[in-house]
Amino acid sequence: MATTAAPVLPDGHRPNVPSAARRFPGIGSYEQVDREIAGTLSPTLGWFAALGIAILCMLVGATTWTYQIHEGLGAAGYQPPVMWGVYIVTFVFWVGIGHAGTLISAILYLFRAGFRTSIYRVSEAMTVFAVMTAGLFPILHLGRPWKFFYLIPYPNWRLIWPNPKSPLVWDVFASLTYLTISSTFLYVGLIPDIAILRDREKNPIRKAIFAQLALGWRNSDREWRHFTRAYLFLAAFATPLVLSVHSVVSFDFAMALSPGWHATIFPPYFVAGAIFSGIGMVFTIVIPLRKAFKLEHYITLNDLDAAAKLCLFTSMVVGLAYVTEFQVAWMSGNNFEQDYFWNRVFGQWAWAAWIMLICNCVVPLSLFSQKLRRNTKWLFFLSLTTNLGMWFERFVIVEPSLSHEFEPWQWGTYRPTWVDYGILLGSFGWFFMWFLLFIKQLPVMAMSEVKETLQPRLRVAHAHAGDVDHDLTEGTVYPDDTGAPH
């Protein structure tokens, strides 16, 4: 006889605050996991509406890009000396967003952080789509997008290869490797779950598609044995990759001699910022998702609390990096550096710098409060300010340096045009279009991994099983989304 009771409280609510004894107190059986997660795949009116908005935004971006190709890159608001604008800012922004996914799925996997289980699939998908989005921007920035293949390492007709000492070539290698490994990691993790969908599916066409994608997976001991090892090694490879990719992106700046860019702090500064912004985007996606799909008992308040602590920590690292930059400029004795940083915070770019500082350093301090870390409405608001702040961080890195270099006669300014804004909007539409399509075709949560944390059915009761069931039937109040457990 099974020893795990269906953990539904008398008032119909599912508890969503884990305890040491039970990771997912609202989940009672393997079948419940399949039923509830597979249930999220049915399209709803809200999903169609969201997809429609995303496609509309994407079309705005595509139309704007077409206009830019016709009119030339001058339509995008570039004016000497500022020849890197919103496209490079947004490229770095989306690469950064793509970092939290592999951080959560790979690094937290190696560290055995339990809270990753419920959010890593969404984060991995977010990573892949964010890197796909980021990849568009260097091509957009070229002005002649049909020349993008020049960076791919193969020789031209005179047998000259791209310069392997150039950070732009490193960037191509790093971004493509990251996209390939992240996509592979996402797909490999999905195989057992696709097999579940294959076995449940009634529609013959969908069943045939799932059967192809599942590669004939049968959940045998042989398959699991090699799968778990391969997943571990892939995580071990992906971990340094996460750290390397944004370091390489930072070299695009740090290898140049411009004031504000030529600093050895850039790699760790960029990596911390990327993780911070990625966690912000995870909240932006996960919080509405758990509400819309009624997954509060999977993505528990403790999971959000733990992710919020990571957000707070990375925010403080980013804040430290900002302070260090100022300190290095102050102590360098270099007038150009000092003048540049003064101009950034109190001069021409003060408005952008203060948006960055308030959003990235001041607002996240609220996460010292446990009550706010467990308040989903606050976390969602904070995720929006984080996204805003991190976009402005990249703006503040790119524009002030180029507009305020060594010679005063070279100083200038930069003002994005409607073309920049249209393409920026289009990038969000592109990202969310893919994401929304993903969540209705494939499970948003790793079903087999959630099952791994559950107690299996046993004929002979486990020593602790009685305690767990006792807790659940005592009428404990588990508030949903508000405050700490009573």
Partner 1 sequence: MQGVLGAFHELDSAVEAIEELKQNKVGDITVYTPTPRHEFEHVMKHPPSRVRVFTLIFGLCGVTFGYWIPVWISDYWPIVVGGKAIATWVPFTILGFEVMVLIGGLMTVFAMFGLAHIPRLTTTVGYDPRFSSGHFGVWVEADPDRVDEAMTILRKHGAEEVRRER
For residue 103, what is the DSSP state?
I
**What length does the chain have?**
486
Please give the radius of gyration of the chain, using alpha carbons only, rounded to the nearest integer.
24
For residue 343, the surrounding DSSP H or E stretch is helix 335-346
3-state secondary structure of 105: helix
Quote the least distance from Cβ 24 to partner 1, whole Å. Answer: 13
Question: Which is nearest to 440 in space by CA: 57, 132, 51, 120?
Answer: 51
Q: What is the DSSP string of 288-327?
A: HHHHHTT-TTTS-HHHHHHHHHHHHHHHHHHHHHHHHHHH
Instruction: Single out the segment in contact with partner 1 by CB under 8 A; choices: 13-21, 211-219, 385-393, 423-431.
Output: 211-219
311 scored as a contact of partner 1 (CB under 8 A): no
Instruction: Single out the segment in contact with partner 1 by CB under 8 A; choices: 49-57, 68-76, 229-237, 324-332.
Output: 229-237
Instruction: Single out the segment in contact with partner 1 by CB under 8 A; choices: 227-235, 281-289, 325-333, 343-351.
Output: 227-235
Q: How far is CA 171 from the centre of its chain?
A: 19
474 scored as a contact of partner 1 (CB under 8 A): no
- The span from the CA of 428 to the CA of 285, in Å, is 13
Quote the least distance from Cβ 352 to partner 1, whole Å. Answer: 31
Single out the residue of 202, 460, 463, 486 in contact with partner 1 (rule: CB under 8 A). Answer: 460
Binding mask 408-447 for partner 1 (x = CB under 8 A): ----------------------------------------
Close Cβ partners of 163 (under 8 Å, ≥ 6 residues apart):
169
Quote the least distance from Cβ 58 to partner 1, whole Å. Answer: 29
Specify the amino acid at residue 10.
P
Question: Which is nearest to 163 in space by CA: 174, 151, 148?
Answer: 151
Single out the residue of 20, 45, 160, 463 in contact with partner 1 (rule: CB under 8 A). Answer: 160
262 scored as a contact of partner 1 (CB under 8 A): no
Residue 20 CB: number of other CB atoms within 10 A? 5
274 scored as a contact of partner 1 (CB under 8 A): no
Residues 136-155 that bind partner 1 (CB under 8 A): 153
31 scored as a contact of partner 1 (CB under 8 A): yes
| Chain contacts with partner 1 (rule: CB under 8 A) | 2, 29-31, 34, 153, 159-165, 169-170, 173-174, 177, 180-181, 184, 188, 192, 195-196, 198-200, 215-230, 233-234, 237-238, 240-241, 244, 248, 251, 448-449, 451-452, 456-460
